[in-house]
Amino acid sequence: MPSNKTLLLLPGDGIGPEVVAQVRRVADWMAKNRAVGFDLKEGLVGGCSIDKNDSPLTDETMADAMEADAVLLGAVGGPKWDAVDFAIRPEAGLLRLRKDMELFANLRPAIVFPALADHSTLKREVVEGLDILIVRELTGGVYFGEPRGIFNLPDGQRKGVNTQVYTTSEIHRVAAVAFDLARKRSNKVCSVEKMNVMESGRLWREEVTKLHKEKFADVELSHMLADNCAMQLVRYPKQFDVIVTDNLFGDMLSDEAAMLTGSLGMLPSASLGATDATGKRKALYEPVHGSAPDIAGKNVANPIATLLSFAMMLRYSFDMGDDADLIEKAIRRVLDDGVRTGDIASAETAKVSTSGMGDHVLKALDSLAR
Ligand code: IPM
Ligand code: MG
């Protein structure tokens, strides 16, 4: 028997605890039915950690994250913490996890489930069958660049500064992940920057081109300016397979891509570090949606993005592709059966609660595993 996998759950704020609770149920199901045990540990991140510890992420929880085989995070933030010091805002906990675990590659797939094609704000024919993957650089760029800060000027004005900065190796390692993943998909990568305005964008394009020539010439590579990419994503999104881009553009373009699928409540993500000598890599999985404070605690949030994030964990951290497939299939079946949380419901469909959606997924797992 392989030893149990240690999994750190960080439910966080807002709807985080409700959606992560559904993953617990699926993990229990797997332990019972698929002979894979998880040692689940739970910790605080974000506002709930500020309330208890005056810090959005304690050193102890950071250490737990470093030790775990994988981390699953719900969401952080909310208006309750709007007034806390910028340095210890809830989001700082998430950013520290990303930075200290060196999770430089953020995978954000946007897949349109057939049952939801009419739910997108775009026409069915534009989004039907869509399956794209945004690979966002996650530990560099303007999110972390120095100098940064708000400075007082001698004339009494203030100056806000952030720095967009990338090095060759930072560009190469994230582009390599994108090329590798493209090989297992439709073999196309579109690299996105603003080389018409920014030197960092110019370097990005040059280095991606160089790496492509050296190691990934079999993959089809194109380049696009970020503003054009934003437009192309709503004009003709199916032209894309894998998009690789920097931290800030990736943040924006992935929200845009998410909405193509009908709801932000459907989108999972994986944040991966480098593979070590033993083949292991640090990883954090989280739904792309935020803490949705307006619906928190009401048992109405859609847990699918978090369940799909758990499936990504099985695939990328534990090489359990079959089990990941099973969860994805169960979710597909539930959607085909017309089961809907509020965010994906239409006038004709009844709404289920967060835990109700969990019930349906477990039932579908039961019948698929039979
Ligand atoms: C995301 C979020 C985060 C980001 C916030 C919560 C710091 O928008 O994961 O896309 O900007 O990266
Ligand atoms: Mg974002």
SS3 of 305-370: HHHHHHHHHHHHCCCCHHHHHHHHHHHHHHHHCCCECHHHCCCCCCECCHHHHHHHHHHHHHHHHC
Q: How many CB atoms lie within 10 A of CB 299?
A: 16
H-only helix segments in 138-246: 168-183, 199-215, 226-235
Contact 14, 299 (CB under 8 A): no
131 is a catalytic site residue: no
Question: Looking at residue 241, what is its pLDDT?
Answer: 98
Span(s) in the chain for CATH 3.40.718.10: 1-106+273-370, 131-260
Confirm or reject CATH 3.30.420.40 for domain 131-260, answering yes or no: no
Average pLDDT rounded to a whole number, residues 247-265: 92
Local confidence band at 7 (pLDDT 50, 70, 90 cut-offs): very high
- The candidate with the shortest Cα–Cα distance to 301, out of 18, 10, 13, 9, is 18
Task: Please tell me the residue having the least CA distance from ligand 1 atom 6.
Answer: 91
Indicate which atom in ligand 1 lies nearest the CA of residue 254. Answer: 10
Token readout for 242 is: 């894998």
Q: 215 pLDDT exceeds 90? A: yes
Q: In the predicted model, what is the mean pLDDT of residues 307-323?
A: 95
Which is the catalytic residue, given 69, 241, 246, 251?
251
Q: Which of 30-34, 161-165, 353-357 has the lowest mean pLDDT?
A: 30-34
Instruction: Give Cα separations from 321 to 115, 155, 315 (angstroms).
Output: 23, 61, 5
Q: Is 194 a catalytic residue?
A: yes
For 68, the token pair is: 């775990």
Whether 94 lines ligand 1, by a CB cut-off of 6 Å, is yes
Verify whether residue 351 is a known catalytic residue: no
Please report the pLDDT score of residue 270 as a whole number.
98
Q: Is the pLDDT of residue 91 over 90?
A: yes
Residue 238 has pLDDT above 90, yes or no: yes
State both tokens at 79.
């208006």
Which one of 137, 162, 247, 251 would you pick to mutate in the ligand 1 pocket, going by the greatest count of ligand atoms within 8 A of its CB? 251
* H helix or E strand, kind and range, residue 17: helix 16-33
pLDDT of 1: 47
List phi, psi (to 5°) of 351: -100, 140
Ligand minimally distant from the alpha carbon of residue 305? 1
Pick the range with the lowest mean pLDDT from 36-40, 153-157, 183-187, 270-274.
Answer: 36-40
pLDDT higher than threshold 60 for residue 2: no
What's the average model confidence in pLDDT over 19-46? 94
Most confident of 3-7, 58-62, 275-279: 58-62
Q: How far apart are the CA of 113 and the centre of ligand 1, in A? A: 24
Q: What is the pLDDT of residue 278?
A: 87
DSSP state at residue 292: -
Q: What tokens appear for 183 in the block? A: 């090989």
With the most atoms of ligand 1 within 8 angstroms of its CB, the residue from 91, 106, 247 to mutate is 91
- Measured over the CA atoms of residue 245, residue 250, residue 254 and residue 256, the dihedral's sign is negative
Asked if residue 176 has pLDDT above 80, the reply is yes
CATH of 1-106+273-370, one of 3.40.718.10, 3.90.1150.10, 1.10.10.10, 2.20.28.120: 3.40.718.10
- The question of whether 251 is a catalytic residue gets the answer yes
Q: Which ligand gives the minimal distance to the CA of 93?
A: 1
